């Protein structure tokens, strides 16, 4: 190990190989569920350095955990407790490499923080639409490795749909130069889409070519109260019908989730939540004009009101008001964290079955654990719910997880299966869902995934213990 550490110092400089000092931000997961111990935190600046690090680790038989912003919700980016894994932090690889305005693409290092990519695009008059609550710290490498979703998927798709090319250091330390900006390329297996969503288990993403879009001419945002999920789904249908492709965000938030925001961040002033089981935040992005967008949007809201789909609504009158509404939605995760640990589920269900799923699963949970609180919110436009479960009043949050996490997961995931859904719509598998995946994923799919893992990472050194174990 001493030899390896010396070699790593030669590759990146001794300042960028940390073995002592405060390593908490690298070793503890965002939710504060686990803390691991790294052999060293190594922070390269270039792709060539990453390739040399991987070669040195392969030679020494030492495994690597790639890390971007360490905002994983599924304990995917921290080392285990053995003290034998290299934590490879991509944060120093943070250059915007180039922008091609005609091709509508931007090429960035994988350690670029998402918000910096959004700003770089905006500076030259374009939109990079991926938007997450963690955008001030998560990185493009992390976004692609988890195929992140967020709040604009209904219009622009997941991270996968926003990526045209990748540069990857493979598990043997070779560099795959796949930074194409092509929208059409049918030359064999789709390697890009293999690495996207692989959570660092197949190789290290060092750069990406991302799609840019024209900035919308206008954005309209509304917050509406609905009495139940059936009505929220009706509103979604009406929004698709009225706005067409202009619909760019459709989030639903349950009363209990909004109550947490109100409790922990009263300055955010949550509207309409006290008298309504659910609220919906919807957004239209129009490429024509403010007046065109507003007319369409007001028609939608008036129809929804007269058809008794919504009971009340506010339409943002300024960019500042719209931002304030989005801030409420984005702070649900922070409000949950302030409350204490809870059991998180980032599931997807066909939109047409969500109301029935929630009614059925809510009843089973409250039957099993009297007083359990359901923090239900999420990206309804994509059929993706954060169906989280919190301890009943008076019960310690950590104890609640210790005693009930497994049975609640089983209950929820059995219902997800029954309703034709997925156990992870956006956060990925990480360490937390490895066993769950084995149980719920199609056996043939699991077998193929193991073959891929074995073929691309034969020594099982890339983020081992996450997603899937090799055969």
Residue 147 interacting with ligand 2HG (CB under 6 A): no
Q: Which stretch binds ligand 2HG (CB under 6 A): 86-94, 157-165, 217-225, 331-339?
A: 331-339
Residue appearing with tokens 């690298």 = 26
Nearer to ligand 2HG, 378 or 383 (CB): 378
The secondary structure of the chain, three-state, reads: CHHHHHHHHHHHCHHHEECCCCCHHHHECCCCCCECCEEEEECCCCHHHHHHHHHHHHHHCCCEEEECCCCCCCCCCCCCCCCCEEEEECCCCCCEEEEECCCCEEEEECCCEHHHHHHHHHHCCEECCCCCCCCCCCEHHHHHHCCCCCCCHHHHCCHHHHEEEEEEEECCCCEEEECCCCCCCCCCCCHHHHHCCCCCCCEEEEEEEEECEECCCEEEEEEEEECCHHHHHHHHHHHHHHHHHHEEEEEEEEHHHHHHHHHHCHHHCCCCCCCCCEEEEEEEEECCCHHHHHHHHHHHHHHHHHCCCCCEEEECCCHHHHHHHHHHHHCHHHHHHHHCCCECCEEECCHHHHHHHHHHHHHHHHHHCCCCEEEEEEEHHHCEEEEEEECCCCCCHHHHHHHHHHHHHHHHHHHHHHCCCECECCCCCCCCCHHHHHHHCCHHHHHHHHHHHHHHCCCCCECCCCCCCCC
Residue 431 interacting with ligand 2HG (CB under 6 A): no
Residue from the set 164, 415, 463, 464 that interacts with ligand FAD by CB under 6 A = 463
Residue 66 interacting with ligand FAD (CB under 6 A): yes
Per-residue contact track with ligand FAD, 25 to 54, x per CB under 6 A?
A: -----x------------------------
Residue from the set 47, 52, 63, 72 that interacts with ligand FAD by CB under 6 A = 72
Residue from the set 427, 453, 456, 464 that interacts with ligand FAD by CB under 6 A = 427
- Total site size for ligand FAD, rule CB under 6 A: 36
In the list ligand FAD, ligand 2HG, none, the entry touching 110 (Cβ below 5 to 8 angstroms by class) is ligand FAD
- Centre a 10 Å sphere on the Cβ of residue 78 and count the other Cβ atoms it contains: 25
Q: Which stretch binds ligand 2HG (CB under 6 A): 91-99, 229-237, 329-337, 396-404?
A: 329-337
- Output b/e per residue, 256-295; b: 16+ Cβ within 10 A: bbbbbbbebbeebebbbbeebbbbbbbbbbbeeeeeebee
In the list ligand 2HG, ligand FAD, none, the entry touching 197 (Cβ below 5 to 8 angstroms by class) is none
Residue from the set 79, 200, 381, 464 that interacts with ligand FAD by CB under 6 A = 200
Residue 421 interacting with ligand FAD (CB under 6 A): no
Residue 167 interacting with ligand FAD (CB under 6 A): no
Nearer to ligand FAD, 115 or 296 (CB): 115
In the list ligand 2HG, ligand FAD, none, the entry touching 449 (Cβ below 5 to 8 angstroms by class) is none
Residue 91 interacting with ligand FAD (CB under 6 A): no
Residue 69 interacting with ligand FAD (CB under 6 A): yes
- The interface with ligand 2HG within residues 388-407 (CB under 6 A) comprises 388
Residue 348 interacting with ligand 2HG (CB under 6 A): no
Tell which residue, 54, 141, 132, 135, has the closest CA to residue 93.
Answer: 141
In the list ligand FAD, ligand 2HG, none, the entry touching 208 (Cβ below 5 to 8 angstroms by class) is none
Backbone angles phi, psi at 87, to 5 degrees: -90, 115
Dist. CA 185–CA 180, nearest whole Å: 9
In the list ligand 2HG, ligand FAD, none, the entry touching 139 (Cβ below 5 to 8 angstroms by class) is ligand FAD
Residue 62 interacting with ligand FAD (CB under 6 A): no
Per-residue contact track with ligand 2HG, 123 to 142, x per CB under 6 A?
A: ----------x---------
In the list ligand 2HG, ligand FAD, none, the entry touching 146 (Cβ below 5 to 8 angstroms by class) is ligand FAD
Q: Which stretch binds ligand FAD (CB under 6 A): 65-73, 214-222, 367-375, 390-398?
A: 65-73
- The interface with ligand FAD within residues 308-347 (CB under 6 A) comprises 333
What residues make contact with ligand FAD under the rule CB under 6 A? 30, 65-73, 76-77, 90, 110, 132-134, 138-139, 141-143, 145-146, 148-150, 199-200, 204-205, 333, 426-427, 463, 466
What residues make contact with ligand 2HG under the rule CB under 6 A? 133, 332-333, 336, 344, 346, 378, 386, 388, 426
């Amino acid at each position: 190990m001493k030899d390896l550490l010396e070699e790593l110092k030669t590759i990146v400089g001794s300042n960028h190989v940390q073995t002592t000092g405060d390593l908490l931000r690298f070793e503890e997961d965002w939710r504060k569920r686990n803390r691991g111990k790294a052999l060293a935190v190594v922070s390269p600046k270039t792709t060539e350095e990453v390739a040399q690090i991987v070669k040195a680790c392969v030679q020494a038989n030492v495994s690597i955990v790639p890390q971007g912003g360490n905002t994983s919700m599924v304990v995917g980016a921290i080392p285990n407790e053995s003290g034998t894994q290299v934590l490879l932090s991509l944060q120093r690889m943070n250059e915007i490499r180039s922008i091609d305005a005609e091709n509508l693409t931007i090429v960035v290092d994988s350690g670029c923080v998402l918000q910096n990519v959004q700003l770089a695009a905006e500076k030259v008059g374009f939109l990079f639409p991926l938007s997450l609550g963690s955008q001030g710290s998560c990185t493009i490498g992390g976004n692609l490795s988890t195929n992140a979703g967020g709040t604009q998927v209904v219009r622009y798709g997941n991270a996968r749909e926003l990526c045209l090319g990748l540069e990857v250091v493979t598990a043997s330390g070779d560099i795959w130069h796949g930074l194409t900006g092509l929208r059409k390329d049918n030359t064999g297996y789709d390697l890009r889409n293999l690495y996207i969503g692989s959570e660092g288990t197949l190789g290290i993403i060092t750069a990406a070519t991302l799609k840019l879009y024209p900035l919308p001419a206008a954005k309209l945002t509304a917050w509406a109260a609905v009495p139940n999920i059936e009505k929220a789904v009706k509103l979604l249908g009406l929004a698709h019908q009225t706005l067409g492709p202009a619909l760019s965000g459709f989030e639903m938030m349950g009363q209990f989730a909004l109550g947490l925001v109100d409790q922990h961040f009263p300055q955010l002033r949550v509207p309409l939540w006290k008298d309504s089981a659910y609220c919906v935040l919807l957004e239209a992005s129009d490429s024509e004009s403010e007046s065109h967008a507003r007319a369409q949007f007001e028609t939608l809201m008036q129809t929804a009101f007269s058809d008794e789909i919504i009971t009340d609504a506010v339409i943002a009158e300024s960019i500042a008001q719209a931002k304030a509404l989005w801030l409420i939605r984005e702070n649900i995760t922070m409000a949950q964290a302030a409350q204490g640990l809870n059991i998180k589920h980032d599931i997807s269900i066909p939109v047409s079955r969500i109301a029935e799923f929630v009614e059925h699963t809510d009843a089973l949970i409250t039957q099993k654990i009297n007083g359990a609180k359901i923090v239900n919110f999420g990206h309804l436009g994509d059929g993706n719910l954060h169906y989280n479960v919190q301890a009943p009043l008076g019960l310690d949050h950590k104890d609640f997880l210790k005693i009930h996490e497994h049975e609640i997961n089983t209950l929820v995931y059995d219902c997800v299966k029954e309703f034709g859904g997925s156990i992870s719509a956006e956060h990925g598998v990480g360490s937390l869902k490895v066993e769950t995946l084995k149980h719920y994923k199609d056996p043939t799919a699991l077998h193929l995934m193991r073959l891929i893992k074995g073929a691309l990472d034969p020594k099982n050194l890339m983020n081992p213990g996450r997603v899937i174990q090799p055969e």
